[in-house]
Structures are given as C-alpha cells and as structure tokens.
Amino acid sequence: MIEIKDLHKSYKMGSNSLHVLKGINFTAEAGELVAIMGSSGSGKSTLLNILGMLDGADSGEYILDGVPIKDLTETKAAQYRNKFLGFVFQSFNLINYKSALENVALPLYYQKVARKERQEKALNYLDRVGLKEWATHLPSELSGGQKQRVAIARAMAAEPKVLLADEPTGALDSTTSYEVMDLIQKINDEGNTILVVTHEEDIAHMCKRIVHLKDGVIVEDKKIKQVRAEQYV
Amino acid sequence: MFDRDIWQEIFHTLRNNKLRTFLTGFSVGWAIFILVMLLASVNGMQNGFTNQFNDDATNSIFIRPGTTAKAYAGFEAGRRIQFKNDDVEYIRRSFPDDIEYLSARYYSRTSARYKSETGSYPIQAVHPEFQMIEKTIVINGRYFNEADLTNKSKVAVIGRKVAEDLFKKEDPVGKFVEFNGSLFRIVGVFIDEGDDNAERRIYAPIGTFQRIYGNTNNISAIALTYNPSYDLPKALEFSRRLEDIMKRRHKISPEDQAGINVWNYAEAFNDISSFSAVLNTISIGVGFLILIAGIVGIGNIMVFTIKERTKEIGVRKALGAMPKQIINLVLLESTFITTLSGFIGLIFAWIILSLIGPNINTPAFSNPSVSLSTVITATIILIVAGVLAGLIPAIKAANVKPIVALSDK
C-alpha cells in the first residue's frame, strides 16, 4: 500500500541546512496498523507530512497504492489527499463554526458528492463513532474525546486508502486516549491501513507494528502483539 | 457560485463579524453614495442649463446689427447698420441649402385694448417660420401663416399672460383687439415653458406691422435655423460664411467685431456641454478615488480574515480543497460584501434623489437624477471592485501551506 525508497528531506534554516530525513526505506501493506515512534526532532512528523502530501521530499520515491507521488501541483496534491488520505490531528482541527455533521461531510463536499448523499454518509460515519445524537452540535459543545471521534469520522468519511494520525491521543487523558485507540483498532479490523505517529509507549503497543525513528533514520522496525484497548475502556 | 454551502459559509463569517462587516461595507456604500450624488449633481446642472436653452431651437443663429468700430470702404467708424427686408431675401437666396427656417424680427411696443381692459406689451413682427425658430407652442388657435403675411392681414398671436390680462376668462381666438388704435384679430394664444415674461409678448406678421407703423422696410434683427443635420464644425463654418457675406453687403470691415453680431446657439451650447462633460469627468474621478479607498478597506479586512482563518484553510486543504475552491470562497465573500453594501449606498442615494430631486428647479440646477445606465455601470464597477479587493487575499489564502497552517498546535 505504501512504499518509500531512500527518502531524504532537509530544511533550510538561514544559511544552514537541517537534514531531517536521511534515507528512509519503508513499506506498509494494506490493513496494517503501524506506530511511528521517536523523540521530538527524530523526523517522525516530517515523514508523516510527506506521506500526507502536505510537504514534498527532496529525493527518493514514494508510491501510494501503486501511484507514484511526485511533482505534485497544489491542485493535484489536493485531489490525491482527498482520494487517498484521511487525517487525524492532535488538536482535532475541526472547523469550529460547523456542526459535527458538517465537519464530517466536508471531505465529501470536496469530492463533489451531492448534498443529500453527503449528509446521509456523514451521519452514517458519525453513527459508527457513536456520536449520531451529537450531529448538530458544534465542536465547542463536545468533549476532547468526542471531538477526536468526530475528526476520525471525518477522516473516514472520504473512504481513504490510508488513515494518517498525528499524535491522535496527544491532547487527551488516558481513558479517552484508550477510547480513541479502541476506535482506531476497530477501523483497522475492518481492513483499513492506519499510520499512527506517537511518542507514548502504551499507545504504540496498541498497534501491530512499531517503527522507531532516530535522527532521521529508522533504527528499529518490529511486529508486535497488539494490546487491545477495549479492556481499558 | 450558486453553491448553498459556500453561501452558508459566507453568511456565517459575516454574522460572526457583524461590526467588521458593517464598517467595511460602510466604506464602499459611502463611496458609491458620493459617486451617485456627484453624478446626479452634475446632471442637475446640465438639466438647469438645458432648461435655459430649450425654449429656442438649438440650431438657431441670431444676427443683430450694431455700430461699426472701424472705418472701411470709405465709411467712417461709428456708422449704425440697419437691416432691411431685402437682407432676409438675400440670405435666403445665398444659402438655400444651409437654411432651415428664416425670419426677420421687428421689435416694437404697443398698447392693447379689449373692451375696458388695456395694457402695454412688447410686440415682435416676424415671419411665420419664426414659430419654429423660437419653438413657440400654440395652445389655442393657430400661428399666423404665409397667407396672412402676403395679405398683410391684421392678425396677431398673443402670449398666455396677455390673454389673461385682456380677456380674463373669455376665449380670445377670433376676437378683435386694438393695437395702437388699429384692430387686430387674435388667431392664437401661445405659452412659453419656464419663462413668464415671454408670455407677455405679442407676435404679428412682419409686413402688416411695417406697413401700419411707419411704412418701413426696416427690420431689427434676423433669426434663422440652419440645416439640423449639421454638426458643430459645419454649423460654425456656416455662421462664419453668414457673417462674411453680411459684412460685405453692409460694407463692414472683416475685422470689425461691432458692426454686426452673429450669435450661434450651437457654440454656446457646445461650451456648456464641454463644461459639464469636464465636471462629469471630475466627479467620476473623485468618486473613483473614494471608491478605491473603500476597496482597499475591504481588501485589508479580507487579508486580516484570511490570517485569522489560516488554520481552517489548512484543514480544508488537508481534506482535499483545491486552491481554486479556496480562491472562490474568498472572492465570493468580498464581492458579496462590496456589492451588497454598494447597492445599499446606491439605493440610499436614489431614495434621496427621488425625494428631493423633482422639487429642485432653479435656473442653474434642476431635477438632479441618475440614469439607469449610471446604475448599471455602478453595479458593474462594484462587482469588479469586489473581485479586485478579494484578489490579493484570495491568492494569499490559496498559497497557505497546509503544513504551516497545521503545525502551530
């Protein structure tokens, strides 16, 4: 599903150049649930941004679902993001003046799905994250965990090939974190490919594979026995 | 453009920022208001000028004799020029293609008596064609005609005020009035828009009057209209030719400005037209400058809005919004504010104008109003202005990098 070969990325900081990714090689099959770990500055967020086409690599190959991702124009990147990727952010990034339902429907709007169908689909996804009753509420009326569940529903609504979660539990307490991980595990159980960036060990162990990044290279890549989050909820 | 979701978003932003929206909108509304008022004022001045002129045909030329200021062809300076009947015939023969209507004018004053009512009025003895030159409107009866002229009939056309003075409620047409002791039959009553004094005048056939009073061939002045198809240069060229030929006939030096006076309405009219055209241009210019201030205001606010919404735009882009969709959103918002507030300014100006405009009627300023074309132009300007105001902010918004927008956690 994801194939990365010898990926390099550096940032210019004035006259200095900061080499963040120093040749990453990585593959993920369909249906995998991968945790990307590393301390801050290890390059894990940069990697996720490149995977999410929010940023471009300097060199190396990136193939997503058989499509080589390179030389993207803004418009093309927008189309690919919409078609291939779902994003879950640490700070939820819901649009605060739109209701939960409208937030979930937004990627469908950019897919040019008709209004009625959009509403139905969005409601269906809200139902799957257990927030059907909260459809008309604004984000400010939801708890942190609920917001992240809305964000996950929004990421899933576009039916992406890969779900990218950047510290999805970073802003949540541990109970709520496990609820969110439980939801992510269930989505993965349905066969969706998910990448989770985290620096929390317990969250990482709820995935099926852990990739450790340090100083811009992968230092460890191991399959693990998944800890189900359900038992803590 | 007619996407419900976009409009929902626009209304939402506007609702959440009522004061900001109002202040921005106000600057544009005010600018349009001033622009329309300025144009209407110029229009009012133009109307005022036109009213002053429109009781005469705009293609008319008046020739008046004067006193020579230069010695010429053996004559001393200071000679009084006197026009005669054959001057009129001479002009008619000399310019058969240039002249539309031609008439002599003989000015006098007469006492008038009908039954016990009397009065003293200026009287002009003219040719029947003078009706067309002066645009005299006969409301009752008729003007005198060629037959009256050749028969030297004692007929007259009187102004409405004269009719009121002498006849009170009686119908004057067909009645006989005593002018300086001779009986004249009244054939018509005329009115003159905008000028009451002109309605205290009497017109009579020239021949009749010349015969009765002094048995003379003298005339006071000559009035004519030229071929209405002439444009200004051609009209001016014609009045020059006319002046030359009359000066030659009366042995006046070509350089003598005082011996004869040829007054061309077109020239005066043209001066005023170009004067109000300049005024018009100035007011459009001033209006535009004010409008630019309004546009900059809207642009400024939009830039600010975009900055505030950077994160939101980043999220939208991460969710698959294309740059042109973002641009659309911003442009539509700025165009909407501009057009709406501009329209409010426009309607406001229009209401004020339609309330007070018709009540203003002074010689120099009359019925200020705006034409439909002005309104349409203003609307187009507004839409363009809105797009311009939103353009820079929209491009700024489209260039928002999702990664930058999302990184400030």
CA B171 from centre of chain = 36
Higher pLDDT, B373 or A148: A148
What is the pLDDT, as a whole number, of residue B84? 92
Per-residue CA distances from A141 to A186, B39, B77 (Å):
26, 53, 103
Helices A100-110 + A74-84 axis angle, to 10: 120
CA B307 from centre of chain = 50
The encoded tokens of residue A6 equal 């010898």
Task: Spell out the long-range contacts of A186-193 with Cβ–Cβ below 8 A and sequence spacing 24 or more.
Answer: A187/A152, A187/A156, A187/A163, A188/A31, A188/A33, A191/A30, A191/A31, A192/A31, A192/A156, A192/A163, A193/A1, A193/A2, A193/A28, A193/A29, A193/A30, A193/A31, A193/A32, A193/A33, A193/A161, A193/A162, A193/A163
What is the pLDDT, as a whole number, of residue B34? 85
The answer to whether A52 faces chain B, any CB pair under 8 Å, is: yes
Q: Give the residues across from A222 on adjacent strands.
A: A210
DSSP 3-state assignment of A6? strand
What is the pLDDT, as a whole number, of residue A205? 93
A20, A48, A81, best to mutate vs chain B, most B CBs in 10 Å: A81
Q: Which residue reads 């939402």 in tokens?
A: B12
The encoded tokens of residue A44 equal 């894990």
List average pLDDT for each run of 10 residues in chain A, which is 233 residues long.
91 84 91 91 86 87 89 84 89 88 91 89 92 92 92 90 90 89 92 91 92 91 90 82
Residues 6 or more apart whose Cβ sits within 8 Å of residue A126: A100, A101, A104, A132, A134, A135, A150, A153
Residues of chain A contacting residue B4, judged by C-beta atoms under 8 Å apart: 115
- For B85, the enclosing helix (H) or strand (E) is helix B85-94
The answer to whether A54 faces chain B, any CB pair under 8 Å, is: yes
- How far apart are the C-alpha atoms of A81 and A87, rounded to whole Å? 9
Contact B320 A91 (CB under 8 A): no
What is the mean predicted confidence (pLDDT) over B62-80?
A: 90
- How far apart are the C-alpha atoms of B379 and B373, rounded to whole Å? 10
- ipTM of predicted assembly, 2 dp: 0.87
B308, B309, B319, B324, best to mutate vs chain A, most A CBs in 10 Å: B319
- Minimal Cβ distance to B320: which of A49, A81, A90: A81
Q: Which residue reads 């037959």 in tokens?
A: B147
What are B11-43's pLDDT values in tens digits? 877 887 788 788 878 888 888 888 888 888 888
What is the pLDDT, as a whole number, of residue A25? 93
What is the pLDDT, as a whole number, of residue B53? 66
Contact B406 A93 (CB under 8 A): yes
- How far apart are the C-alpha atoms of B393 and B334, rounded to whole Å? 10
What are B82-98's pLDDT values in tens digits? 999 999 999 999 998 88
The answer to whether B320 faces chain A, any CB pair under 8 Å, is: yes
B164-198 burial, b for 16+ CB within 10 Å, e for fewer? Answer: ebbbeeeebbebebebeeeebbbbbbbbbeeeeeb
pTM to 2 decimal places: 0.65
Q: Which residue reads 């779900």 in tokens?
A: A163
Q: Which residue reads 């066969």 in tokens?
A: A191
Nearest chain B CA: its distance from A115 CA (Å): 9
Nearest chain B CA: its distance from A225 CA (Å): 32
What is the pLDDT, as a whole number, of residue A208? 94
- Contact status, residue B152 vs residue B205, Cβ threshold 8 Å: yes
Residue in A with minimal Cα distance to B4:
A115
Amino acid at the residue B381: I
- How far apart are the C-alpha atoms of B293 and B54, rounded to whole Å? 40
The answer to whether A83 faces chain B, any CB pair under 8 Å, is: yes
Residues 6 or more apart whose Cβ sits within 8 Å of residue B394: B302, B326, B327, B330, B331, B334
Cβ neighbours, 10 Å, residue A75: 12
Contact B320 A83 (CB under 8 A): yes
What are B315-346's pLDDT values in tens digits? 888 888 888 888 888 888 888 888 888 888 88
Nearest chain A CA: its distance from B333 CA (Å): 16
Contact A75 B315 (CB under 8 A): no
- How far apart are the C-alpha atoms of B207 and B150, rounded to whole Å? 8
What are B115-147's pLDDT values in tens digits? 888 999 999 999 999 998 888 889 999 999 999
Nearest chain A CA: its distance from B310 CA (Å): 11
pLDDT at B284 over 70: yes
What is the mean predicted confidence (pLDDT) over B360-378?
A: 73
The answer to whether B324 faces chain A, any CB pair under 8 Å, is: yes
The answer to whether A196 faces chain B, any CB pair under 8 Å, is: no
Q: Which residue reads 């300023």 in tokens?
A: B365
Cα within 13 Å of Cα(B103), Cβ side: 26
- How far apart are the C-alpha atoms of A214 and B1, rounded to whole Å? 49
**Phi, psi of B264, deg, nearest 5:** -105, 120
Contact B317 A158 (CB under 8 A): no
- How far apart are the C-alpha atoms of B264 and B276, rounded to whole Å? 19
What is the mean predicted confidence (pLDDT) over B68-83?
A: 89
Per-residue CA distances from B42 to B24, B76, B267, B351, B368 (Å):
28, 49, 20, 18, 8
Closest by Cα among B233, B279, B255, B242 to B68: B255
What is the pLDDT, as a whole number, of residue B56? 66
Residues of chain A contacting residue B406, judged by C-beta atoms under 8 Å apart: 54, 89, 93
The encoded tokens of residue B401 equal 């990098």
The answer to whether B15 faces chain A, any CB pair under 8 Å, is: no
Residue in B with minimal Cα distance to A82:
B320
The answer to whether A82 faces chain B, any CB pair under 8 Å, is: yes
What is the mean predicted confidence (pLDDT) over B250-277?
A: 85
Residues 6 or more apart whose Cβ sits within 8 Å of residue A76: none
The answer to whether B317 faces chain A, any CB pair under 8 Å, is: yes
The answer to whether A91 faces chain B, any CB pair under 8 Å, is: yes
Cα within 13 Å of Cα(B359), Cβ side: 5
Contact B320 A158 (CB under 8 A): yes
B409 pLDDT band (50/70/90 cuts)? very low
What is the mean predicted confidence (pLDDT) over B217-222?
A: 92
Where would I find the beta strands (DSSP E) of A29-118? 33-37, 59-64, 67-68, 85-88
The answer to whether B126 faces chain A, any CB pair under 8 Å, is: no
Contact B315 A78 (CB under 8 A): no
